[in-house]
Amino acid sequence: MTSYQKGDNLELNCLSFNRKKTCFSCGLSNGFKIYNTSPFQKRFKRKFESFGIIQLELLGSSNIMTFVRSSTPNKLTVWDDYQSQEIAELNFNTEITALKIFMDKVVVCCADSVIVYRLTDLESLDRINTYQNPHGLISVRENAEEQLKVLAVPGTKKGEIVIKSYTDNSYTNVFKAFDQQLGQIQLNKDGTMVAVSSIEGTLIRVFDCKTQVLLLQFRRGKKKANIYSMAFNEEENLLAVTSHRGSIHFFNIPSDAREVTKKKKEKGGISYGKYGMKKERGVLKTNLTNTLPNIITFIGNELIVIIKNGWYFKFLIDKKKGNVVQKEELLFLK
């Protein structure tokens, strides 16, 4: 993602939500800031004199976090902000492109692999080799105790995806989602479905994680687009998608989408579910005044959009009436 630079040379390098989406973190050229998601509110900040933050993940609502410094992009730091000190670190041979932290594990994404570590002692537990992944394409879900439950990353071949479960009934599924390189990945709340887009951004496909069946296909548009973010709502009957074209598309997810009634195979070996052969268009759409990279999440019937130039948007979604109404717009990074 391209950094946003203000007149005082402050750069917003990265954005991330915590596991429960109650707050979001901003990695800056001189430290970091943490905000409550909804209602929006400043929480705390930390300024560093000699380095900035280019990757940042907060552990729940605690004072523990993991980050990557701008000065050492191949080093992971576990930080206790209450004590204002580093409590652990790990060095890698290549640049770290994404981080995820849970109550039991830390997940580190590099250009061609994803490594899972135990949080308590940073012992390596698992390694997944991936296709070229310079932007840190990864999606994760946690259980009720905020422990790692499901992980989704690109496979070793173009267009391939790996779904790995870390529950008692663990499984690993590897299958082809697209012929092209993957553009975005998003798991639903309980990690049973995964939305995947190709790098072209014209189609989004939703698969059942365990059976690998193609449940739904959505047509975002005919023109190529860089998809920035995707999010399922809490009822799991809507999927929101943002892109560089300055729009938010909302796609309907039928309540019986996971019913498998068709077994037809296409050339790529994809098994179709009840709605998988159709290419549905969005049921709702709204425009953003900003086309820069963003992260999104649902809080109840509201969609929160955090944009990488320091803007915060809140939209009220009324699926029954077919309305999307902007409720809030503010510049939080000043």
Average pLDDT of every residue of the chain? 92
Higher pLDDT among residues 10 and 112, named by residue: 112
Share of the chain above pLDDT 70, in %: 95
Residue 252 in tokens: 């309907």
Q: Are 68 and 96 in contact (CB under 8 A)?
A: yes
Q: How many CB atoms lie within 10 A of CB 53?
A: 25
Beta bridge partners of 243: 227
pLDDT at 37 over 80: yes
Distance CA 128, CA 98 (A): 14
Q: Are 327 and 39 in contact (CB under 8 A)?
A: no
HSE at residue 180, side-chain half, CA atoms within 13 A, is 14
Report the pLDDT value the prediction gives residue 1, as an integer from 0 to 100: 35
Distance CA 299, CA 140 (A): 18
| Three-state SS at 334 | coil
Residue appearing with tokens 């915590």: 18
Report the pLDDT value the prediction gives residue 291, as an integer from 0 to 100: 87
pLDDT interval class at 168 (50, 70, 90): confident
Q: Which residues contact 123 (CB under 8 A, 6 or more apart)?
A: 117
Report the pLDDT value the prediction gives residue 262, as an integer from 0 to 100: 62
pLDDT in tens, 213-266: 999 999 998 999 999 999 999 999 999 999 999 999 999 999 999 887 666 566
What's the mean pLDDT in 140-151? 96
What's the mean pLDDT in 279-306? 94
Report the pLDDT value the prediction gives residue 61, as an integer from 0 to 100: 86
pLDDT at 5 over 50: no
Residue 95 in tokens: 């640049």
pLDDT at 4 over 70: no
Higher pLDDT among residues 321 and 159, named by residue: 159
Residue 21 in tokens: 């989406």
Q: Hey, what amino acid is at 88? A: A
Q: What angle do CA 48, 51, 54 make, to 5 degrees?
A: 110
Give me the sheet containing 139-142, strands edge to edge: 139-142, 148-154, 160-165, 172-176
Report the pLDDT value the prediction gives residue 239, as an integer from 0 to 100: 98
Report the pLDDT value the prediction gives residue 10, as an integer from 0 to 100: 78
pLDDT in tens, 64-85: 999 999 999 999 999 999 999 9
Q: Hey, what amino acid is at 58? A: L
Distance CA 171, CA 131 (A): 20
Residue appearing with tokens 């989408």: 257
Residue 87 in tokens: 């409590």
pLDDT at 2 over 90: no
